[in-house]
């Protein structure tokens, strides 16, 4: 399969809402790897300052299921969440992976990096030589990795972990690395966005990204653009309260300024998404989430942060 076909597959299947992206993706990826004699992606996964929601979101992947991703797509060599090894055995694996796969492994970071007080607000592990802070680990591993993927909004932009007043000085990982970072934002990430990005890396290398370094094929259009309730908005029929069937703009919806394919893609085996359950999109993929979306239930013009530069609500984002 050529790259252009792959991208079309991802986009079409989302729009068709027939749940077939991942069902088609896995055999294609396997076929491609077989034909090109490539192995799986060696992955080091660091959990830093976040809620752990992105590893839970990743566990919710369907077609491929979690065990299939482990079997067919990635070699997860270090992960605080999933690895059987513990204590110094786990740290030895981290060291070995870094040495053996220098310049060849993919670093996945889940969470923001606290930069204040020498990074002491997040310690990946305590060692006899002292604490290994998330700051140290992300910088050191980030420099040695082939690809760096930020999973979730905390790792991408700081997210909830860096929300005001940000006492830990937390930042997105691109702030501490002088290299390309692929941001796969969302609070949490939709597993399709993450697994789709891994597939792209495996088959074609880095995906085409938007101005926030996110894969365009998932974040290229706004929620508003593809919302099922767009006709209500166009007719100025707004919900009077949460639970109503009309447009959620009146209830604080951030869809007009949020790049994501939620309306097509949906969540957890593609069964639903926030607007479908009569609540607003709160813009969780955005660079300024959550501060820029608050108060969550106030219409866009009344949010705490003014959104002067939001894209025209009727037009496609560039």
Partner 1 sequence: MQKILFSPVTRLSGLLSVELSVDQGTITEADVSATMFRGFEYIMRNHHVTDAVYLTQRICGICSMAHGAVASYLLDQLYDNDINENAQYLRNIMFGADFLQNHIRHFYLFGLPDFVIMPNQPPFLSQNCTDCRLNQKDNNRLATHVTEAVKAAEKSHQILALFGGKAPHQHSFLHGGVAVPPTVDKITQALALIDDIHDFVNRYMLPDTELISTCYNDYYHIGETDGRFLSFGLFRFGNKNEQMLWKSGVLDDGIVTQPQLELIREDIARAWFERAKWLDDGEIRPAPYKSGAYTWTKAVLYQGLHHEGGPLARMTINGLYNGGTSTMDRIAARTLETLLITELIKEWLCKLKAGPAPICQKKELVRNQAISVTDAMRGALLHCAQLQGEKVEKYDIITPTVWNFSPKDEYGNRGPAETALIGTEIPSSELKFVIPGRIIRSFDPCISCATHILDARTNSAVQLKHYFLSRLSTLSQQLHNSMTTGDIISYQPIWVSPN
Residue number, 163 or 313, with CB nearest to partner 1: 163
114's tokens:
């606290």
Contact flag: residue 209 with partner 1 (CB under 8 A): no
Contact flag: residue 146 with partner 1 (CB under 8 A): no
Q: What is the DSSP string of 145-197?
A: -SEEEEESHHHHH-GGGG-TT-TT-EE-GGGT-SS--EEE--SS--HHHHHHH
Q: Which span sits near partner 1 by CB under 8 A: 11-19, 139-147, 213-221, 240-248?
A: 240-248
What's the full length of the chain, in residues?
318
- At 311 the three-state DSSP class reads coil
Output the CA angle 114-117-120, nearest 5 degrees.
Answer: 60
Chain centre distance of CA 92: 28
Contact flag: residue 120 with partner 1 (CB under 8 A): yes
* Residue selected from 101, 121, 147, 264 as contacting partner 1 according to rule CB under 8 A: 121
* Residue selected from 107, 187, 217, 253 as contacting partner 1 according to rule CB under 8 A: 187
Taking the C-alpha atoms of residue 197 and residue 309, their distance in angstroms, rounded to an integer, is: 28
* Residue selected from 3, 31, 38, 89 as contacting partner 1 according to rule CB under 8 A: 89
Q: At what angle do helices 191-204 and 21-36 cross, to 10 degrees?
A: 20
252's tokens:
């604080």
Contact flag: residue 47 with partner 1 (CB under 8 A): yes
Taking the C-alpha atoms of residue 243 and residue 191, their distance in angstroms, rounded to an integer, is: 27
Q: How far is the CB of 269 from partner 1 (least distance, A)?
A: 5
Residue number, 207 or 222, with CB nearest to partner 1: 222
Beta bridge partners of 184: 151
**Can you tell me which residue has the tokens 């607007």?**
275
Contact flag: residue 127 with partner 1 (CB under 8 A): yes
Q: Which span sits near partner 1 by CB under 8 A: 9-17, 139-147, 220-228, 287-295?
A: 287-295
Contact flag: residue 283 with partner 1 (CB under 8 A): no
Q: Which span sits near partner 1 by CB under 8 A: 10-18, 24-32, 136-144, 166-174?
A: 166-174
Contact flag: residue 33 with partner 1 (CB under 8 A): no
Residue 146 vs residues 44, 55, 111, 184: alpha-carbon distances, Å: 11, 21, 20, 17
**Can you tell me which residue has the tokens 């560039």?**
318
Q: What is the DSSP string of 72-92?
A: HTEEEEEETTT-S--THHHHH
Residue number, 8 or 126, with CB nearest to partner 1: 126
Q: What is the DSSP string of 223-267?
A: HHHH-TTHHHHHTT-B-SSTT-SSBGGGGT--GGG-B--HHHH-B
User: Is 97:44 a contact under the CB 8 Å cutoff?
Assistant: yes
Contact flag: residue 155 with partner 1 (CB under 8 A): no
Q: Which span sits near partner 1 by CB under 8 A: 10-18, 172-180, 198-206, 279-287?
A: 279-287
Contact flag: residue 130 with partner 1 (CB under 8 A): no
Contact flag: residue 163 with partner 1 (CB under 8 A): yes
Contact flag: residue 278 with partner 1 (CB under 8 A): yes
Q: Which span sits near partner 1 by CB under 8 A: 25-33, 142-150, 223-231, 266-274?
A: 266-274
Contact flag: residue 297 with partner 1 (CB under 8 A): yes
Taking the C-alpha atoms of residue 22 and residue 193, their distance in angstroms, rounded to an integer, is: 10
Contact flag: residue 273 with partner 1 (CB under 8 A): yes
* Residue selected from 21, 26, 76, 173 as contacting partner 1 according to rule CB under 8 A: 76
Contact flag: residue 272 with partner 1 (CB under 8 A): yes
Residue number, 31 or 269, with CB nearest to partner 1: 269
């Amino acid at each position: 399969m050529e790259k252009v076909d792959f991208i079309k597959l991802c986009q079409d299947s989302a729009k068709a809402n027939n749940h077939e992206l991942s069902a088609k993706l896995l055999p294609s990826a396997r076929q491609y790897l077989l034909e090109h004699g490539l192995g799986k992606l060696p992955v080091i996964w660091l959990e830093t300052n976040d809620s752990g929601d992105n590893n839970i979101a990743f566990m919710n992947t369907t077609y491929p299921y979690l065990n299939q991703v482990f079997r067919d797509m990635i070699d997860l060599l270090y992960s605080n969440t999933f690895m059987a090894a513990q204590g110094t055995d786990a740290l030895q694996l981290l060291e070995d992976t870094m040495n053996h796969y220098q310049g060849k492994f993919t670093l996945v970071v889940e969470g923001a990096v606290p930069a204040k007080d020498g990074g002491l607000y997040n310690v990946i592990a305590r060692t006899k030589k002292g604490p290994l802070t998330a700051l140290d680990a992300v910088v050191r591993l980030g420099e040695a990795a082939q690809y760096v993927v930020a999973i979730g909004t905390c790792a991408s932009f700081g997210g909830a972990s860096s929300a005001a007043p940000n006492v830990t000085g937390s930042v997105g990982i691109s702030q501490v690395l002088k290299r390309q970072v692929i941001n796969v934002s969302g609070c949490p990430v939709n597993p399709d966005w993450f697994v789709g990005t891994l597939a792209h890396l495996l088959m074609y290398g880095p995906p085409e990204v938007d101005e926030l370094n996110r894969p365009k094929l998932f974040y290229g259009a706004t929620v508003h653009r593809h919302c099922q309730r767009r006709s209500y908005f166009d007719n100025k029929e707004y919900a009077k309260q949460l639970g109503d069937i009309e447009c959620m703009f009146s209830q604080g919806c951030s869809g007009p300024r949020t790049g994501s394919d939620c309306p097509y893609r949906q969540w957890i085996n593609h069964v639903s998404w926030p607007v479908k359950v009569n609540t607003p999109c709160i813009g969780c993929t955005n660079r300024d989430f959550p501060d820029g979306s608050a108060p969550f239930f106030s219409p866009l013009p009344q949010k705490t942060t003014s959104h002067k530069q939001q894209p025209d609500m009727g037009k496609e984002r560039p």
